[in-house]
């Protein structure tokens, strides 16, 4: 947590660099704000600072209706639907679509499959399945470059369900089989 003087100076300047780094609570009103809140500055003697919105709420303060501190930068609510897409991407990277379906992934995220597909189209420009396929091909390409594993092992380690799908994906993307992409042994 920043010291009182630093927080107070940032609040008085309404410095956007500190937005989301601390929250200002006013004892006389029982409200907490972001440092960039456009309301009239309270007296310094009535102000306390908290490192998070949750800490201010735990101390009994309620959020300002003008600056909406619960949606400050770096909070999941501030990111909106991007948070859901980021969580989905982490799950896809961990293999969620290698063994499950888009419906299973959407259920884990608490949204519908169609909504998840719309979010991916808006934020990523591709569907969850296309994203998973790109990640699988990237993993396979790394394994082809860095190891001398047999093609079948690479296919399964990269997340492909079969060697046939592995070959078809490489043929579609690169126009040649994966064996032709492997670097010669040095």
| Active-site amino acid positions | 33, 37, 64, 67
Please report, in tens digits, the pLDDT of each residue of the chain (186 residues total): 689 999 999 999 999 889 888 999 999 999 999 999 999 999 999 999 999 888 899 999 999 988 888 776 656 555 667 788 889 999 999 989 988 899 999 999 999 999 999 999 988 888 999 999 989 999 999 999 888 999 999 999 999 989 999 999 999 888 999 988 886 665
Residues 21 and 43 in one domain: yes
Structural domains in the chain (count): 3
Angle at 50 between CA 46 and CA 53, to 5 degrees: 115
Domain termination residue (choose one: 51, 75, 99): 75
Q: What is the CATH number of the domain that holds 168?
A: 1.10.10.60
Residues 97 and 85 in one domain: yes
Domain around 143: 130-177
Residues 122 and 150 in one domain: no
Entry pTM:
0.59
DSSP 51: S
Residue 26: strand, helix, or coil: strand
Residues 90 and 65 in one domain: no
| Residues near 126 by beta carbon (within 8 Å), at least 6 away in sequence | 120, 134
């Amino acid at each position: 947590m920043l010291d009182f003087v630093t927080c107070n100076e940032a609040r008085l300047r309404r410095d956007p660099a500190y937005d989301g780094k601390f929250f200002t609570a006013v004892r006389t009103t029982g409200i907490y704000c972001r440092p960039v809140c456009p309301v009239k500055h309270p007296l310094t003697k009535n102000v306390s600072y908290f490192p998070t919105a949750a800490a201010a709420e735990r101390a009994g303060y309620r959020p300002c209706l003008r600056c909406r501190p619960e949606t400050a930068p770096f909070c999941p609510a501030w990111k909106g639907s991007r948070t859901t897409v980021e969580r989905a991407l982490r799950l896809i990277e961990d293999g969620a679509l290698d063994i499950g379906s888009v419906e299973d992934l959407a259920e884990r995220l608490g949204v519908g499959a169609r909504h998840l597909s719309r979010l991916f189209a808006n934020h990523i420009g591709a569907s969850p399945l296309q994203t998973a396929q790109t990640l699988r091909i990237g993993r396979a390409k790394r394994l082809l470059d860095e190891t001398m594993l047999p093609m079948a092992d690479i296919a399964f380690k990269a997340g492909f369900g079969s060697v046939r799908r592995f070959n078809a994906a490489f043929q579609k993307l690169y126009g040649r089989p994966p064996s032709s992409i492997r670097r010669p042994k040095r």
